[in-house]
Amino acid sequence: MVISYFNYLWDIEGISAGSAIKAKEFVAALRRRGNTVHLEWRMPQPPKNVRVSSNVRNGLKQLLQKYFKEPRRLAGNFSNLVTEYQILKKQKPDLLFPRLTYGNFSCLLLSKWLNIPMVVEADCPPTYEWKTFFGRHTLRLGDLSIRLEVATLNQADAVITQSNELKEYYVSLGIPKEKVHMIPNAADITKFQPVAKDDTIIEKFNLNNQIVIGWLGAGISWTGRDTVSKMALTLLKEFPSVSFLMLGSAENMEFFKRRLHSNGYADRVCLPGFACHKDIPRYLSCMDIVLAPYPKLDFFYASSMKLFEYMAAGKAIVATRIGQIAEVIQEGRNGFLFDADNSEELYGNVKALILSSELRQRMGHNARKDAEREWNWDRVAQKMSHIFGEVLNKRKFDPHKVPRRQF
């Protein structure tokens, strides 16, 4: 099968790194199944030697973006049509597989014009995110973007979401339920494995003979850092043999430094800062207990790659009882769950793991087995391939579909 995968993420080495990793992983898994998959990054990427944050904060640029971001994104579809037609002409795919993106409709038109079967990856609700998080103060052209989003999904032969919450959201907008398929994220179980602790990291942060509690958080809004800091202060005071190893953005590191270092625990709260994804397994190897403390949200549509990487690494997990996490974690078997923002319940779960190495090992073993069985990229590719096959078979025998246009 020949698949053209169009991805419109911007800054795939920076703010979009997590989503870009997902794309690379499932594309690699699809290729391992014998498919020819063309991965096309469709957005111009920022220069590697220029910080995106400094560009975005430029006064004039920020002012212009307020008024022209959405019109510019919509207008970009017309140049995309020319470029993407040439790409499809060259690749001659059996299937077009675009990532749903705010303001994009070029794939909708090309799929219809060329009669190429299209499966859409709806990894997030782009218009909802734009209105809620990123573009609250920018000019919007009414409900045009959500209408284009819904039209794209209705035109698609199938839609793949990453969570049941996201599937239900699109069904509520009128997308036929039978068209929407849920495939969660996953982990690379060859990169993330139960391995011995990394000696270099243990020595660097003086973690010998310590029970290490780990936390990863590149963002800010969904990290649960307030709940973690409250729990951490209590545990640090009660258990001298406990240390914390926290990785993430500079802002998060500064937050924990203010909250925890100032209370005399600097030597037991290790803050390495941001780590590249390829280095995360080394840090995970040093962690005995890992946290996924997402906050309470009315619409939690995420599929946590961090959670699945914890599982693949065979770690004892304590995570928020919310959304897909509550579907994956089986209380007391492959992890513990706690109610969001309940630092006392979080504390109780972590304390139980501190006091029992056997419990940590058993939970980590079960989590690893679950990752091997279900939460890995080869399993994702298997599910995707099944959907792709159904779409192509249905198209083949559908008398209402006209023959594909010749390139």
Rounded to whole angstroms, the Cα distance separating 70 from 173 reads 22
Structure tokens at 290: 């890992």
pLDDT value at position 162?
97
Max avg pLDDT among 7-16, 216-225, 265-274: 265-274
**Strand pairing class (336-338; 269-273):** unpaired
Burial class (CB in 10 A: 0-12, 13-18, 19+), 11: middle
In terms of pLDDT, which residue wins out, 130 or 94? 94
Q: Does CATH place domain 199-373 in 3.30.70.20?
A: no
pLDDT digits (tens, 9 = 90+) for 377-396: 999 999 999 999 999 999 88
Integer Cα distance of 183 and 375 in angstroms = 10
Q: Reduced to 3 states, what is the DSSP secondary structure of residue 371?
A: helix
pLDDT in tens, 138-157: 666 678 889 999 999 999 99
- pLDDT at 13 (0 to 100): 77
Helices (H), 205-355: 225-238, 250-260, 280-285, 305-312, 323-328, 343-354
Q: What does the angle CA 239 – CA 322 – CA 149 come to, to the nearest 5 degrees?
A: 140
3-state DSSP assignment of residue 159: strand
Question: Confidence class of residue 53 from pLDDT cuts 50, 70 and 90?
Answer: very low
CA distance 337 to 292: 9
Would you state the pLDDT for residue 51? 47
291-344: per-residue pLDDT in tens? 999 998 899 999 999 999 999 999 999 999 999 999 999 999 999 999 997 889
Alpha-carbon span 259 to 265, nearest angstrom: 10
Amino acid at 121: E
**How many CB atoms sit inside 10 A of residue 33's CB?**
13
Residue 184 has pLDDT above 70, yes or no: yes
pLDDT of 24 above 60 = yes
Mean pLDDT of the chain: 90
d(CA 103, CA 276): 30
Start and end residues for every CATH 3.40.50.2000 domain found in the chain: 2-186+377-396, 199-373
Taking alpha carbons only, the member of 395, 363, 328 closest to residue 162 is: 328
Rounded average pLDDT over 51-66: 50
What's the CA gap between 251 and 254, in Å, rounded? 5
Q: Which of 321, 324, 330 is nearest to 302 (CA)?
A: 324
Q: The domain 2-186+377-396: what is its CATH number?
A: 3.40.50.2000
Helix (H/G/I), strand (E/B), else coil: 93: coil
Looking at per-residue pLDDT, the higher value among 103 and 38 belongs to 38
Amino acid at 394: K
Is the pLDDT score of 407 beyond 70?
no
pLDDT band at 16 (very low <50, low <70, confident <90, very high): confident
